[in-house]
Amino acid sequence: MQEKMAMKVRAFGNIVVVAIAVTAFTTECSEHSAKVNPAPAHGTPTSLRPDSPPVKMKSEIKKDVGFSVRDATDLGRTVDLQHADLWRFCLERKGDAPDSVDLGAVPYGEECPDHWNAHVPDMKTPNITGKSFEKAYSSLLKKGYNSRFIDVYYGSTVELDQQDVARVHGQVCKQEPQAGRSFDASENVKLYVAIGNCHHK
């Protein structure tokens, strides 16, 4: 098992790192799960839909094919493998590495494009200030925001470790960027959450 994995790493490089991460996500293999940050439970379905990327990823792993998972649109969102079940598999093309494929996806709630890098309407930052953290965080994930790029400040000015996000229960008092701003794939979202309810002066 270890020799086979080492061969895949030499052959496919970063693409296989994705495959290993998905193996942990889909099979809950304890050997690799430590390499992936624990996924928050907020807004995560308990069963996988047949057109979800993890189902397709599992199929590629069985075929011993390397792969990457990408936003099928021109928004350039980074597909969050910890919450890949919130995305819909749409397109496939030959990858850059030998015996590899690129899988194109969009969040559920969006229509699949008929070609790669399809132009879609500008995505606006939703208004989540005043909402419970659970609803706010879930709404961001469902719109295609990556959990690694959501910075959470829980009752303090110190950013919370991602592995501790699941314990956050409170009201979102402030968000950056502000609601209505155009989506920027290079910009992190910052959520300032009260331990309980916000107390505005």
pLDDT tens column, 138-163:
999 999 999 999 999 999 999 999 99
Mean pLDDT within 61-76: 94
Query: Does the pLDDT at position 21 exceed 50?
Result: no
Which of 111-116's residues contact partners 24+ apart within 8 Å by CB, and which partners? Answer: 112/72, 112/88, 113/72, 113/73, 115/91, 116/72, 116/91
Query: Does the pLDDT at position 14 exceed 50?
Result: no
70 alpha-carbon distance from chain centroid:
11
The backbone torsions φ and ψ at residue 102, rounded to the nearest 5 degrees and listed phi first, read -100, 130
CB 101 within 8 A of CB 65: yes
When pLDDT is cut at 50, 70 and 90, the band that residue 200 belongs to is low
Query: Is 48 exposed, middle or buried, given 0-12, 13-18 or 19+ CB atoms closer than 10 A?
Result: middle
81-113 pLDDT, tens digit each: 999 999 999 999 999 989 999 999 999 999 999
Q: What per-residue confidence (pLDDT) applies to 46?
A: 56
Using left for φ > 0, alpha for ψ between -120 and 50, and beta otherwise, residue 109 falls in: left
Q: In what order do the strands lie in the sheet with 189-193?
A: 150-154, 189-193, 172-176
Percent of the chain residues past pLDDT 90, beyond the cut: 72
Could you give the C-alpha distances from 59 to 52, 63, 162, in angstroms and in order?
A: 12, 6, 29
Mean pLDDT within 116-136: 96
Q: Model-level pTM?
A: 0.75
Q: What per-residue confidence (pLDDT) applies to 28?
A: 36
Q: What per-residue confidence (pLDDT) applies to 71?
A: 97
